[in-house]
Chains A and B, each alone.
Chain A
């Protein structure tokens, strides 16, 4: 298939693997930021093709995985209300809260619907003026423009029955949190190409400077990842800490400026809890005060809900690259995709689910 097969060629894969083998002289630990990249790596068996000197650790870039437990409990509380149509992207539906998940709330009579775009949720609100339509707005910078657009459109249409439960998170502060940790193992990053398609990559320049770490903006197809790994390893071997762009067909330094403008109009930067990691200052988006009427947490008064994480789940260590999923004591036993203990086992992008589904035990 055009624009797909070119990036999945077996012959070119071999060339990149050989180039990496020739370049590497000692052990390096690289982190791919995005869960989509983790998924490609495991699905195509890329990690098994690499020389043993290279260790790939899997970053926090899975929005489902880092959404805090208490926010999911809030979502469940809202979704149970009879007047509410609760809408969400598919993979949030199965994420366990403290006691249950959205699919179970649906089984018990809650009106929970999967949508492909927040704009579909806006349409639902138009179609059902007698109901309250809530969209679960999670995700990184990638989904922020569409979510901002949904709120902006709802305002333009004068919709009073639409709101979002917002838990947006941002990549650069999470990278800084990992690099600033005394336990950090990561020596080079594959930055998330799709986040950079929206935001550009200028935001990463200060991180490269401050931590002297190479960062390569990388795409999501197998050859993108292999080239990204090659570029990172080459920089490390040559002692260069630079910001490079592998994903030139989608990413520019400036990014998508109109999208950024819209995001700034609707959202402001705030502190954010990351599931398994904890509070990271200035690491998320929340609605600006002038859009507060669209905040579902306030509309449904669920601000008081708090929750405790499962003490056995090591998601935090996994997402900081300190441990691999199968090093978790409950991986594949107590914690499976049918009965996940922690969020990385739920989403297709979660490192634990990728390891489980593709048989890394």
Chain B
């Protein structure tokens, strides 16, 4: 059997455990990680991919380019605070920004469902246009496909993008080191709860809006402020803050300690999480970024973030430590401590 495996004839995902793809394989947690680690990375094996960053970093003619791609399958396609169009642009420009790059150009691939109102498509396209203009990036190439009615959720979008990494910028999840400080630019879990509030079967009344936004400008400010003292950038989207920090801790082989009371969270979000039995640390974010910087630079970076419209509620939420490499601990509000693990499966609401 082992011999067969060497030639890649056998599926690397344990077939008796997962004979079919489950929703959790796309959830950004442990099963997504399993697909990446066991299937994609060995299959496509190359150094740029192995860095497992938000995007790949490629050296081309002396310049360092960041290259990233992201697909968007959100339902509903219009939601409070945004739509699939703005989200698709922000997703890829933010992935590029998290590599320390200034985005240059995007591609857009649209998969449309037969019967989609043309007005809806126009709204999505206008929203993509506005988001791209706001991020200072051009959509330079694209593709359109239409699938039969019932085979898609109105519209799916893939965006890919390239960006240029300036000299003097070197960020990677692997560069987080003991003594560093962990910052976030604002309140967590807003996007996930805003989407949930309009999802079928779960409509609840809230004034929450998704915080989807381009992080390009804020990232530039942070990098101007602290240069190479900025070690790691990450936008904690699917899988939430907990999964993003677990990935960083594992890749850098460091421990991370969080202080629950310092993590910004709005009452409306906390209340919804309490009622639904969700842990906000695992709820998806948009327009949020984690910044891991050398301790000496932390105050200056915090001030620079607070000075930016997307960083008014920025806060220092934790630190990088030598102990417990690969794991994230949290000091709870009452002073106890616990491990914050990677999200496992989908986050499922409790019975009572």
The answer to whether A113 and B201 have CB atoms under 8 Å apart is yes
A107: B residues at CB distance < 8 A: 20-23
The answer to whether B350 and A91 have CB atoms under 8 Å apart is yes
A13: B residues at CB distance < 8 A: 334-335
8 Å CB contact of A49 from B19, B335, B346, B348: B335
The answer to whether B349 and A91 have CB atoms under 8 Å apart is yes
Smallest Cβ distance from B75 to chain A, in angstroms? 14
Q: For residues 201 through 245 of chain B, which have their beta carbon under 8 Å from a beta carbon of chain A?
A: 201-202
Interface size class of chain A, counting residues whose CB lies under 8 Å from the partner chain: 35 or more
- Kindly specify which of A114-122, A207-215, A243-251 makes contact with the partner chain: A114-122
The answer to whether A90 and B336 have CB atoms under 8 Å apart is no
Q: For residues 14 through 45 of chain A, which have their beta carbon under 8 Å from a beta carbon of chain B?
A: 14, 36, 42-45
Q: Give B190-210 as 1s and 0s: 1 = Cβ < 8 Å from A's Cβ atoms.
A: 000000000001100000000
The answer to whether A10 and B22 have CB atoms under 8 Å apart is no
B348: A residues at CB distance < 8 A: 90-91, 93-94, 114, 348
Measured CB to CB, the nearest residue on chain A to B351 is: A89
Q: Give B16-29 as 1s and 0s: 1 = Cβ < 8 Å from A's Cβ atoms.
A: 01011111100000
Q: Give A334-348 as 1s and 0s: 1 = Cβ < 8 Å from B's Cβ atoms.
A: 001111000000011
> Is A46 interfacial (CB 8 A cutoff)?
yes
The answer to whether A46 and B23 have CB atoms under 8 Å apart is no
The answer to whether A48 and B337 have CB atoms under 8 Å apart is yes
Q: For residues 75 through 90 of chain A, which have their beta carbon under 8 Å from a beta carbon of chain B?
A: 89-90
> Is B177 interfacial (CB 8 A cutoff)?
no
The answer to whether A108 and B351 have CB atoms under 8 Å apart is no
The answer to whether B336 and A49 have CB atoms under 8 Å apart is yes
> Is A63 interfacial (CB 8 A cutoff)?
yes
B22: A residues at CB distance < 8 A: 103-104, 107
The answer to whether B333 and A348 have CB atoms under 8 Å apart is no
Q: For residues 39 through 71 of chain A, which have their beta carbon under 8 Å from a beta carbon of chain B?
A: 42-46, 48-49, 63-64
B271: A residues at CB distance < 8 A: 1
A63: B residues at CB distance < 8 A: 351-352
The answer to whether A358 and B267 have CB atoms under 8 Å apart is no
> Is B31 interfacial (CB 8 A cutoff)?
yes
- Kindly specify which of A138-146, A252-260, A306-314 makes contact with the partner chain: A138-146
B267: A residues at CB distance < 8 A: 1-2
The tally of CB-CB contacts under 8 A between chains A and B is 123
A194: B residues at CB distance < 8 A: 352
A337: B residues at CB distance < 8 A: 344-345
The answer to whether B338 and A10 have CB atoms under 8 Å apart is no
Q: Compute how far the CA of A183 lies from the CA of B327 in the bound complex, rounded to whole angstroms.
A: 38
Smallest Cβ distance from A187 to chain B, in angstroms? 24
Q: Compute how far the CA of A90 lies from the CA of B30 in the bound complex, rounded to whole angstroms.
A: 18
> Is A153 interfacial (CB 8 A cutoff)?
no
The answer to whether A139 and B352 have CB atoms under 8 Å apart is yes
Q: Compute how far the CA of A4 lies from the CA of B270 in the bound complex, rounded to whole angstroms.
A: 10
B19: A residues at CB distance < 8 A: 104
Looking at B34, B270, B335, which has the most chain A CB atoms within 10 Å of its CB?
B335
A171: B residues at CB distance < 8 A: none
> Is A148 interfacial (CB 8 A cutoff)?
no
> Is B141 interfacial (CB 8 A cutoff)?
no
Q: Give B312-352 as 1s and 0s: 1 = Cβ < 8 Å from A's Cβ atoms.
A: 00000000000000010100111111110100111011111
B276: A residues at CB distance < 8 A: 116
Q: Compute how far the CA of A142 lies from the CA of B19 in the bound complex, rounded to whole angstroms.
A: 36
Q: Compute how far the CA of A4 lies from the CA of B201 in the bound complex, rounded to whole angstroms.
A: 27
8 Å CB contact of B333 from A8, A106, A115: A8
Smallest Cβ distance from B27 to chain A, in angstroms? 11
B344: A residues at CB distance < 8 A: 336-338, 357
> Is B277 interfacial (CB 8 A cutoff)?
yes
B333: A residues at CB distance < 8 A: 5, 8, 10, 44, 222
The answer to whether B332 and A90 have CB atoms under 8 Å apart is no
Smallest Cβ distance from A98 to chain B, in angstroms? 14
> Is A92 interfacial (CB 8 A cutoff)?
yes
Smallest Cβ distance from B296 to chain A, in angstroms? 29
Q: Compute how far the CA of A92 lies from the CA of B348 in the bound complex, rounded to whole angstroms.
A: 9
Measured CB to CB, the nearest residue on chain B to A43 is: B338
Q: Give A164-176 as 1s and 0s: 1 = Cβ < 8 Å from B's Cβ atoms.
A: 0000000000000
Given contacts A49-B335, A114-B348, contact A359 B341 (CB under 8 A): yes
B202: A residues at CB distance < 8 A: 116
Q: Compute how far the CA of A90 lies from the CA of B352 in the bound complex, rounded to whole angstroms.
A: 10
> Is A295 interfacial (CB 8 A cutoff)?
no
Smallest Cβ distance from B153 to chain A, in angstroms? 16
Smallest Cβ distance from B285 to chain A, in angstroms? 19
Smallest Cβ distance from B18 to chain A, in angstroms? 8
B349: A residues at CB distance < 8 A: 89-91, 114, 116
8 Å CB contact of A348 from B23, B24, B277, B329: B277
A-B contacts, 28 listed (Cβ < 8 Å): A8-B334, A9-B334, A10-B335, A36-B350, A44-B332, A44-B334, A45-B337, A49-B334, A90-B277, A90-B350, A93-B348, A94-B348, A103-B22, A103-B346, A104-B19, A104-B22, A106-B23, A108-B20, A139-B351, A194-B352, A337-B345, A338-B30, A338-B345, A339-B17, A348-B348, A349-B350, A357-B339, A358-B339
Known interface pairs A45-B336, A104-B22, A338-B17; 10 further A-B residue pairs with C-beta atoms within 8 A, sorted by A's residue number: A46-B336, A49-B334, A90-B277, A94-B346, A116-B276, A336-B344, A338-B345, A339-B17, A358-B338, A358-B339
Across the A-B interface, give the 7 residue pairs with the lowest CB-CB distance, nearest first.
A45-B336, A359-B339, A90-B348, A90-B349, A337-B344, A13-B334, A107-B20
